[in-house]
Amino acid sequence: MTHAVSGIAFGSAFRRSSGTARIWLAGAVCAAVPDIDVIGFRFGIHYGDLLGHRGLTHSLTFAAVLAAVVVALVSRDGTSGLNRGALWLYLFIATASHGCLDALTAGGLGVAFFSPLSNTRYFFPVRPIRVSPIGLGALMSDDGLAVLASEVRWVWLPCALFAAIALAWQPAAVPGKRDTREIGTRSVTATKARTSGRSLESRFWRWLFRRAERRTIFETTCSTTSGSGRRP
Ligand SMILES: [Zn+2]
């Protein structure tokens, strides 16, 4: 679950191109998928093996491939307005964040970041996160609650902070989207007033929406006789 939180948090940085709940859900699932390798224990696969826990499924290669597969699946469903490159990058980061968090834990073996090229296991030099016990019963114990507290402190809070900064960083996006819907009902002057006085980035969005607005007004004028909204 903590992995899913980090997956969603990174999505906030890609809000413009991948802002639907569905994409965020895909990021959360991608961030949780690497632990699918625990089923290997049932089949006699050892922790340190290529397919062992924190092995291949925790590698950067796996993250790249999984992201590509999910992008292909989502694109096939015809989700509109997606930037495939940005979506791939988001899902790659979401999946890779899993291995990075595991490498910050104080327990078990390290993470095989470069599998299948190398099965060497790595930890980061700093490992503040307590390793999570497996199973709900174990999680409800005193030790489990201490682990949860450690995850909240080292993962949930930083993720919330990251998401807050990422969302605050894109002030022009929300008015921009609203403007697109309001095209034809408000004047260009009103749009200018709402989006004026912002950064270089917002100037780009303003320019883009002014262009879109002019085009829509032109099309509206051509298709109806009312001609409402024709302004310079
Ligand atoms: Zn893991």
Distance (Å) from CA 215 to ligand 1 centroid = 50
Distance (Å) from CA 142 to ligand 1 centroid = 22
| Tokens found for residue 34 | 């690497």
In angstroms, what is the C-alpha Rg of the chain? Answer: 23
Digit-coded pLDDT (tens) for 120-165: 999 999 998 887 766 666 666 777 777 788 788 777 787 888 778 8
Distance (Å) from CA 4 to ligand 1 centroid = 11
> What's the whole-model pTM score?
0.63
Distance (Å) from CA 51 to ligand 1 centroid = 12
Distance (Å) from CA 149 to ligand 1 centroid = 18
Q: Within 10 Å of residue 194's Cβ, how many Cβ atoms?
A: 16
Residue 216 and residue 223: Cα distance in Å, rounded? Answer: 10
- Band (pLDDT 50/70/90 cuts) for residue 55 is very high
Distance (Å) from CA 101 to ligand 1 centroid = 8
Distance (Å) from CA 102 to ligand 1 centroid = 6
Strand partners, 186: 183
Q: Identify which of 20, 10, 112, 101 has the alpha carbon closest to the alpha carbon of residue 60.
A: 112
Give kind and range of the element (H or E) at residue 177: helix 173-182
More confident residue, 90 or 146: 90
Distance (Å) from CA 187 to ligand 1 centroid = 53
Distance (Å) from CA 32 to ligand 1 centroid = 8
Distance (Å) from CA 184 to ligand 1 centroid = 51
Distance (Å) from CA 166 to ligand 1 centroid = 26
3-state SS class at 230: coil
Phi, then psi, of 122 in degrees rounded to 5: -120, 145
- Band (pLDDT 50/70/90 cuts) for residue 111 is very high
- What single-letter amino acid sits at 218? F
Strand partners, 173: none
Digit-coded pLDDT (tens) for 177-217: 444 444 444 444 444 444 444 555 566 566 666 666 665 55
Average pLDDT over residues 32-46: 94
DSSP at 112: -
Highest mean pLDDT among 9-13, 131-135, 152-156, 218-222: 152-156
Residue-wise over 95-121: b if at least 16 C-beta within 10 A, else e?
Answer: bbbbbebbbbbeeebbbbbebeeebeb
3-state SS class at 51: coil
Distance (Å) from CA 185 to ligand 1 centroid = 51
Residue 124 and residue 110: Cα distance in Å, rounded? Answer: 9
Distance (Å) from CA 208 to ligand 1 centroid = 43
- What pLDDT does 42 receive? 93
- CA 93 from centroid of its chain's CA atoms: 7
- What pLDDT does 225 receive? 44
Distance (Å) from CA 227 to ligand 1 centroid = 60
